[in-house]
Chains A and B, each alone.
Chain A
Amino acid sequence: MFQILKNFYHKLGSYPWFYKISGKVIPFVGVFSISLIVISSIWGLFFSPTDAVQGDVYRIIYFHVPAVSVSQVIYYSISVAAAVFLIWRMKMAGVYIKSLAPIGAAFTFIGLLSGAIWGQPTWGTWWVWDARLTSTLVLFLFYLAIIGMQSTFASRKSADTAVSIITLIGVVNLPIVKKSVDWWNTLHQPASISISGESSISSEMLIPLLLSILGVYLFVFFTGLLFMRAEISTREQNKEWFKKLSSNN
């Protein structure tokens, strides 16, 4: 068992192997994830019951919750990849960080924007300096710093190392930010606003929500593979295997 895992790890570090395998996997994952998102959104938008308190606007939950949760998961996965890159110098981890950072930023942006659009009719304001909103904003800033750092170094390896350092510092700091924002928030604001009423969610609403979360996670997997392929194809343009592979197609 351990041997298989070890083999898999070594294969994962190889660009040609990844490029070939991902080319085979991508169409299936893509079709599956997109159809899952479409099904869950149609279910959520048209067939799930209307919320008694918030009315139809609550249906934004089917886009807001998956986006926010996936944006945090992406950051944690990136920081694991950063540790792998710094400890074992696995080149693929650098590709992973560079490819997943824009996806994470995009979903954090979707989460912030859909939250604002949801907040406007329900709370009456677009933005509240609530603990969760603030820490999501900080997460977005970290993503921007990671993306901005990519272009400051001439050599690929230095850029990857710098980005890994930032990511790890960020993941050390994020819990501190989260906790301190919590304390800050409790002083200044009464806890009258809670973002989600998830505790009392009915199963007719819960099933499409879970489906949409699954769909978005698979979609991130799909676009992650696409971005990694694109990144590898730029990095390995002049390598023999890439020339052979692309001239065969």
Chain B
Amino acid sequence: MDFGEFNIHIWSVVSIMGFICLLLIFLPLAKIRKNESKIKNNEKT
């Protein structure tokens, strides 16, 4: 594909898929971090 030409169909699919994939990675990561830090906080207090 030409770099100069902007195909809106392709790039909307790419950006939506990228967004959902990032969501799929960072949602569970945030949850794990929250659960692990909860225990560390409990130990401190």
Contact = CB atoms under 8 A, between A and B. Distances in A.
Tell me, yes or no, whether A and B come into direct contact in the complex with CB atoms closer than 8 A. yes
Interface of chain B: mostly helix, strand, loop or mixed: helix
Contacts of B24: 102-103, 106, 223, 226-227
Contacts of B31: 230, 233-234
Given A46-B3, A246-B36, A226 B9 contact: no
Given A230-B28, A230-B31, A247-B39, A110 B9 contact: no
A117 B9 contact: yes
A233 B32 CA distance: 6
Count class of interface residues, chain B = 20 to 34
Contact of A226 (B5, B16, B25, B39): B25
Contacts of A229: 28, 32
Count class of interface residues, chain A = 35 or more
B2 to A, nearest CB: 8
Given A50-B1, A237-B39, A246-B39, A63 B21 contact: no
Nearest to A38: B18
16 contacts: A41-B14, A46-B3, A56-B1, A56-B5, A57-B7, A103-B24, A110-B17, A117-B12, A118-B13, A120-B9, A226-B24, A226-B32, A227-B24, A230-B28, A230-B31, A230-B32
Interface of A: 30, 37, 41, 45-46, 50, 56-57, 59-60, 63-64, 67, 102-103, 106, 109-110, 113-114, 117-118, 120-121, 219, 222-223, 226-227, 229-230, 233-234, 237, 242-243, 246-247, 249
